[in-house]
Amino acid sequence: MRHVVWLLLLTIGCQPATHYEKLPKEAAVSTKPTPRETEPTPPDPTLAWIDRRPQTAQPAVPIVFVHETAGAEWVGLPKFWNPPPTDAEKAAAALALGPLTAVAPLAETKAVVKIKVPAGLDDPRPYLPASDPPTLDKWELGRRLFYDQALLGEGVESCATCHDPRTGFADNGLGHFGVNTPTLINCVFNRRQFWDGRVAALEEVVQRTPEDETAPPAKDSRTFRHVWGGVVRRLRSSAGYTQLFLNAFGTPPTQDAVGKALATYLRTLLADDSVYDRALRVQSAERAPQLAAAYYEKVLDEAALKKLGLEGKPKADAAKRINEGYRLFHDLEEHKAGCVRCHSGREFTDGGFHNLGVGFREFLPGREPGRFASLPLGEKDRTLIGAYKTPTLRGLLRTAPYFHDGSAATLEEAVQFHLKGGEKNEYLDAELRDPKDADRQRVSDLTPQEVSDLVLFLRALDGEDVDAAVGPPAAK
The predicted pLDDT at position 440 comes to 79
pLDDT at 26 exceeding the cut of 60? no
Give the DSSP letter string of 103-172: SHHHHTSPP-EEEEPPTTSPPSGGGS-TTS--BHHHHHHHHHHHH-TTTTSSSS--HHHHSBGGGTTB-T
Confidence of residue 438 (pLDDT cuts 50, 70, 90): confident
Q: Which of the two residues, 288 and 173, has the higher pLDDT score? A: 288
**Which are the contacts of 172, defined by CB distance < 8 A and separation ≥ 6?**
164, 399, 400, 401
Domain boundaries, the chain: 43-270, 275-459
> From CA 394, how far away is CA 14, in angstroms rounded?
71
pLDDT at 473 exceeding the cut of 60? yes
Per the prediction, the chain carries an average pLDDT of: 84
Q: Establish whether domains 43-270 and 275-459 are of one fold.
A: yes
Backbone phi, then psi, for 390, in 5-degree steps? -70, 115
The predicted pLDDT at position 280 comes to 96
| Closest to 71 (Cα-Cα) out of 238, 279, 284, 221 | 284
The predicted pLDDT at position 170 comes to 92
pLDDT at 192 exceeding the cut of 90? yes
User: DSSP character for 217?
Assistant: -
* Domain made up of 43-270: CATH architecture: Orthogonal Bundle (1.10)
Mean pLDDT across the stretch 408-414?
95
CATH number of this structure's domain 275-459: 1.10.760.10
The predicted pLDDT at position 65 comes to 98
Confidence of residue 55 (pLDDT cuts 50, 70, 90): low
47-61, 66-80, 188-202: least confidently modelled range: 47-61
Cβ–Cβ under 8 Å, residues 84 and 101: no
pLDDT at 330 exceeding the cut of 50? yes
Mean pLDDT across the stretch 197-220?
80
